[in-house]
């Protein structure tokens, strides 16, 4: 970093539920990607601030904040609002990663804005923020089987080793797309994600 240059802050938030009982469940896709990013950036998600586990990384002229809300999914907005107040990133420097039942398992979609859809964590965030014009990366987990309870499905673990391996590959791709976003900007990352993401 050059002397006197200004750091651009990026806030990368992965949604999930804290606690060992929820680890590696479908609803914790955001946490899974954050773990991969932290590993690639040689960072540890250990700092407690703003109701989140955090890691701060300096990368060139960027300050990257990786955050796992510890508020449970339905109150994610409380954490994100506090993080925004503390770090004050530009509105397009907040990226939220989360699971989506409306996408096939393993599919990824990136957008610069949008609604919460069926996701309670995103509903909580949008209820706390003045506008929804921030990037988000959705990680498909597929819909539950007909007649299967939705809550039980999203809080359940991946059913087979093959499904877990398939989703692990999706998490790796999501981490790569997040890196594209940091390196090249939102438009580039969206094109890389949405045009080249394989149908699965």
| Residue numbers annotated as active site | 27
Helices 76-87 and 120-128 pack at an angle, to 10 degrees, of 40
Would you tell me the crossing angle of helices 161-184 and 29-40 to the nearest 10 degrees?
A: 60
Cα–Cα distances in Å, from 64 out to 26, 44, 56, 123, 179? 25, 13, 6, 24, 11
- The alpha-helical segments, DSSP class H, found in 55-96 are 76-87
Q: To which H or E segment does residue 58 belong? A: strand 52-59
Going by the DSSP 8-state scheme, the letter that residue 92 receives in this structure is G
98: number of Cβ within 10 Å: 28
Q: In angstroms, how far is CA 115 from the centroid of its own chain?
A: 15
């Amino acid at each position: 970093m050059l002397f006197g240059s200004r750091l651009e802050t990026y806030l990368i938030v992965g949604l999930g539920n804290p606690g060992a009982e929820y680890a590696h469940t479908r609803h914790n896709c955001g946490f899974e990607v954050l773990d991969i990013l932290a590993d690639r950036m040689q960072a540890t998600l250990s700092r407690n601030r703003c109701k989140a586990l955090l890691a701060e990384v300096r990368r060139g002229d960027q300050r990257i904040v990786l955050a796992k809300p510890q508020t449970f999914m339905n109150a994610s907005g409380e954490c994100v609002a506090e993080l925004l107040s503390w770090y004050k990133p530009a509105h397009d420097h907040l990226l939220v990663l989360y699971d989506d039942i409306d996408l096939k398992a393993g599919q990824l979609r990136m957008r610069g804005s949008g609604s919460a859809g069926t996701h309670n964590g995103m509903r909580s965030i949008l209820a706390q923020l003045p506008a929804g014009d921030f990037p988000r990366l959705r990680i498909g987990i597929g819909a539950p089987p007909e007649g299967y309870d939705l809550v039980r499905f999203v809080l359940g673990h991946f059913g087979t080793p093959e499904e877990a391996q398939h989703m692990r590959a999706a998490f790796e791709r999501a981490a790569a797309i997040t890196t594209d976003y940091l390196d090249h900007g939102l438009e580039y990352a969206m094109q890389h994600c949405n045009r080249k993401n394989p149908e699965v």
